[in-house]
């Protein structure tokens, strides 16, 4: 029987009713397995993953731009700085420089207002690879009057003896050429330092016996100090790679200094390595094969082309 509170009861009963839930007409897609899996990954795993990515990025940056063992870091800003007190300049080239216009290089190429006196040319790598531009570069360098040299890039994947024999088979040095060069930049992980030094010495001795001259040893300053710091290597002319410093920190004797890999020259597309020789042009010619026969007038037969530069 309705009473005076019937209106209140009716309103309350209406207010107490559950409102119907609104649903979207579009069916929600169930998350994929990978997303569902990620939702259950612990927070500490995310932290480790993030730190790993940052570490890889830092290592990559260090390898390209800082490490002396990387693929030769580039100068990012400004012009190339030229070491003071040196007049004998040269370059080293490989297929990375593409097809070189040797005539333009000879007629217009100068480094710090000095003529280019020598060109080191990549010949071989490991026991199977000949640089694709070696034959042309090696021939043209001599044709255009440069003192030329040939270098071998040492590989950690084959024996020193096989690499030495491969270089000998592919490189025919002549009187007036610089001694053969061994470019060493990496040590095999599975070798001790003593084993590594013996292998490098083996290459040098085999090549020296064949050509009759002591090969030139090229490597980075820190790499030499860490892996080849032995008096047995002092008998070989040292070509040091040490970039963007005012002077060489190495305290021993050295013949060549590769001071930048960001040089620019007419006739060469892209960057090229700049080097200096630690001595006079006469000294450089004395270092060449057969210098006792060619050091006379013939040793300076290419001087005329530089007159007036």
Q: Residue 112 catalytic?
A: no
Residue 80 included in any domain: no
| Structural domains in the chain (count) | 2
The percent of the chain in helix, strand and coil, each rounded to the nearest 5, is 40, 15, 45
- Do 180 and 152 touch, CB atoms closer than 8 A? yes
Q: Distance (Å, rounded) from C-alpha 36 to C-alpha 50?
A: 20
Q: How far apart are CA 50 and CA 230, in angstroms?
A: 42
Residue-by-residue pLDDT tens, the chain, 309 positions: 455 555 544 444 455 565 666 555 656 666 666 666 767 778 777 788 788 888 887 877 655 555 543 444 444 434 677 889 999 999 999 999 999 999 999 999 999 999 999 999 999 999 999 999 999 999 999 999 999 999 999 999 999 999 999 999 999 999 999 999 999 999 999 899 999 999 999 999 999 999 999 999 999 999 999 999 999 999 999 999 998 788 888 888 999 999 999 999 999 999 999 999 999 999 999 999 998 765 544 444 444 443 433
162 and 299 inside one domain: yes
**Is 150 part of a structural domain of the chain?**
yes
Residue 140, domain member (yes or no): yes
Looking at the structure, tell me whether residues 134 and 273 fall in a common domain.
yes
Residue 125 annotated to the active site: no
The reported pTM is 0.73
Does any domain span residue 210?
Answer: yes
For residue 268, the SS3 value is coil
Same domain, yes or no, for 60 and 104?
Answer: no
Residues 216 and 156 in one domain: yes
Catalytically annotated residue among 92, 177, 183, 273: 92
Annotated catalytic residue within 136, 185, 202, 208: 185
47 and 170 fall within a common domain: no
Q: What's the CA gap between 305 and 110, in Å, rounded?
A: 13
Residues 53 and 176 in one domain: no
Residues 120 and 264 in one domain: yes
For residue 60, what are the domain limits?
A: 33-65
181 domain residue, yes or no: yes
In a domain, 112, yes or no: yes
Which pLDDT score, from 0 to 100, does residue 302 have? 46
pLDDT confidence of residue 72: 44
Q: Are residues 139 and 45 both part of a single domain?
A: no
The pLDDT of residue 28 is 62
What CATH number does residue 287 fall under?
3.20.20.80
* Residue 238 covered by a domain: yes
């Amino acid at each position: 029987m309705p009473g005076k509170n019937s209106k209140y009861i009716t309103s309350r009963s209406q207010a107490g009713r559950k409102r119907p839930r609104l649903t979207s007409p579009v069916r929600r897609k169930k998350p994929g397995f990978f997303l569902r899996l990620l939702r259950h990954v612990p927070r500490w795993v995310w932290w480790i993953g993030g730190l790993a990515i940052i570490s890889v990025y830092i290592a990559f940056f260090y390898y390209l731009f800082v490490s002396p063992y990387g693929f030769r870091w580039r100068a990012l800003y400004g012009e190339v700085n030229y070491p003071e007190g040196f007049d004998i300049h040269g370059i080293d080239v490989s297929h990375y420089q593409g097809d070189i216009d040797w005539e333009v290089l000879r007629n217009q190429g100068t480094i710090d207002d000095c003529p280019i006196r020598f060109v080191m040319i990549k010949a071989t790598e490991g026991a199977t690879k000949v640089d694709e531009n070696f034959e042309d570069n090696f021939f043209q360098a001599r044709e255009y009057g440069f003192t030329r040299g040939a270098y071998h890039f040492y590989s950690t994947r084959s024996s020193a003896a096989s690499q030495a024999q491969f270089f000998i088979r592919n490189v025919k040095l002549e009187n007036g050429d610089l001694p053969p060069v061994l470019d060493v930049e990496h040590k095999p992980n599975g070798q001790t330092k003593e084993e590594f030094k013996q292998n490098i010495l083996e290459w040098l001795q085999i090549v020296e016996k064949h050509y009759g001259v002591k090969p030139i040893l090229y490597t980075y300053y820190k790499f030499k100090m860490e892996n080849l710091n032995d008096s047995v290597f002092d008998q070989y002319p040292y070509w040091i790679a040490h970039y963007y410093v005012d002077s060489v920190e190495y305290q021993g004797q050295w013949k060549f200094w590769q001071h930048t890999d960001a040089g620019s020259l007419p006739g060469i597309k892209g960057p090229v390595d700049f080097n200096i020789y630690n001595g006079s042009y006469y000294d450089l010619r004395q270092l060449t094969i057969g210098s006792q026969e060619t050091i006379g007038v013939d040793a300076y037969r290419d001087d005329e082309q530089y007159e007036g530069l």
